Each structure stands twice: as C-alpha cells, then as structure tokens.
C-alpha cells in the first residue's frame, strides 16, 4: 500500500524578511563650464585704446596754446604760423614766448608794423580784427624798442599809436590805460594841441626816442600790439 506524503507550511516567528540591498544614491557630477565673454570684447578694447591715443595727441597739440586759459585768444584764432623765442621769459618761468610770423617780440608783447595806410579809426579797427590794438607805450624801454625797429624797417614817415583825444589836449589810450604826461615821448615843441590834430603818431624821421607827434587823423601807417602767447 503506497504511503501518503503530507506537506506542512512552517513559519518561524523570529525570522526577518529578506534584506533588500539598496544602491547608494547617485552622486551628481559637477561639470566645469568656462566663463564666456562677448566675441566683440577685443574690438571694444582696441577701440578704447585708439580713442585714448587720439585724445592724447589732441591734448599735446592744443595744450601749449591754451595753457592758463580755457579759450584761445583772438590772436591765436587769427593766425596759424608762429615764431617762438625763449629769451622773453624771466626768473623761474620756463617755456617760449610766441608771436605770429612777421610780428616783433619785445618782453611779453608782439608788435605788427603795417605796410599800408589807414585813418586812425580804421587802423584801430584793423588791429582789433587781428586780435590786437594800436600800440600802448608804457615804458621808456618799449619806446626805445619801437624807435629802433621803425628806424630799421620803416616804410613811412608816421606810424599811429593808440593815443588820441576827443577834446584838445585830453589824451587817452585805446585800452583805457591812464595817460601819464611824465611818461610821454613828445618831439620838441609837440604836441601842437590844435583842434584838427587829435591823433598821435611816432615820427620816424626824428632821430631820437622822443618822437611823438599829434597829427590830423587821416591815412597813416600803424603799429599794432598784442600779448605774446606763452607755451
């Protein structure tokens, strides 16, 4: 007789469920991204350097004639060619004293001796148009300088200076400098002080520094004066 096989399900109370293997959390890779610059940056840097160079060149060209002043003088605006000399500076001053080409330098002023004639009023307008005025003589040294220059290069007999009168004998300088009778350089027996002679000239045929003469205000040569430019 065949025997019967019985199966029984056995449970163990202290058994623990099968351990589940847990994989370690996936670590994130930190990728290094290089910093990106605009492609036009080298061009911008080159442009900035170019602009700086241009600014420096302009400063070097313009600065000498604008030193000590924000705006160029009227004389600087009128003339492009200049002659410079270092002899006019004194003491601790350094640099050059400059006048337009063809003008004469004395101390700190530039002088223009005309080669054409005009009335006194037209002469003053002509000097003003060049950024100057009819010469105002303020010292014996200046008078002697003009005397020598006109003796050497004079084309005419009379040269207007910036002295005139509205009324007979009441002399006034064009730049409002007070007229000092003791510092005047009249010729012998001058001024005439007559009603029709109210303008003053340097008379070049007088061979001595005292050579002022009052004359009618018709056409004569002229001497213009302007401050020299320091560079």
Query: Per residue in 45-70, pLDDT tens?
Result: 888 888 887 877 665 444 444 444 44
Q: Is 59 helix (H, G, I), strand (E, B) or coil?
A: helix
Residue 104 falls within a domain, yes or no?
Answer: yes
Q: Mean pLDDT lowest for which of 28-32, 71-75, 156-160, 216-220?
A: 28-32
Count: domains in the chain: 1
- The pLDDT score that the predictor gives to residue 66 is 45
Residue 46 falls within a domain, yes or no?
Answer: no
- The pLDDT score that the predictor gives to residue 230 is 87
Q: Where are the beta strands (DSSP E) in 120-193?
A: 133-134, 158-165, 171-173
CATH number of the domain at 209, please: 3.10.100.10
Residue 178 falls within a domain, yes or no?
Answer: yes
Residue 151 falls within a domain, yes or no?
Answer: yes
Residue 44 falls within a domain, yes or no?
Answer: no
Q: Is 119 helix (H, G, I), strand (E, B) or coil?
A: coil
- At 133, give phi and psi (nearest 5°): -155, 165
Structural domain for 223, as ranges = 63-230
Residue 202 falls within a domain, yes or no?
Answer: yes
* Tokens found for residue 44: 């911008």
Residue 29 falls within a domain, yes or no?
Answer: no
Residue 31 falls within a domain, yes or no?
Answer: no
Q: Alpha-carbon dihedral of residues 193, 195, 199, 203, nearest 10 degrees?
A: -50
- The pLDDT score that the predictor gives to residue 94 is 62
CA torsion sign for 167, 171, 177, 182 is negative
Q: For residue range 68-115, list pLDDT tens digits in order.
A: 444 567 888 889 899 998 765 555 556 789 999 999 999 999 999 999
> Which helix (H) or strand (E) segment is 60 a member of?
helix 41-62
**Model pTM above 0.75:** no
Do 225 and 132 meet the contact criterion of CB atoms below 8 Å apart?
yes
CA dist 110 and 128 (Å) reads: 14
């Amino acid at each position: 007789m065949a025997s019967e096989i019985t199966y029984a399900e056995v449970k163990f109370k202290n058994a623990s469920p099968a351990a589940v293997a847990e994989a370690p959390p996936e670590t994130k890779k930190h990728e290094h991204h290089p910093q990106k610059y605009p492609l036009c940056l080298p061009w911008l840097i080159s442009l900035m350097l170019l602009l700086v160079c241009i600014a420096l060149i302009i400063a070097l060209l313009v600065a000498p004639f604008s030193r000590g002043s924000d705006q160029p003088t009227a004389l600087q605006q009128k003339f492009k060619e200049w002659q410079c000399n270092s002899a006019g500076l004194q003491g601790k001053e350094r640099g050059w004293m400059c006048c337009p080409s063809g003008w004469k330098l004395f101390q700190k002023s530039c002088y223009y001796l005309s080669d054409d004639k005009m009335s006194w009023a037209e002469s003053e307008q002509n000097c003003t148009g060049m950024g100057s005025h009819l010469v105002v003589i303020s010292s014996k040294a200046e008078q002697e300088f003009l005397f020598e220059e006109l003796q050497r290069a004079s084309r005419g007999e009379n040269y207007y200076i910036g002295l005139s009168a509205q009324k007979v004998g009441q002399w006034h300088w064009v730049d409002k400098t007070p007229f000092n009778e003791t510092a005047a350089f009249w010729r012998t027996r001058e001024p005439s002080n007559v009603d029709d002679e109210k303008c003053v000239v340097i008379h070049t045929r007088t061979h001595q520094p005292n050579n002022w003469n009052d004359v009618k205000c018709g056409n004569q040569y002229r001497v213009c004066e302007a401050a020299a430019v320091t560079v």
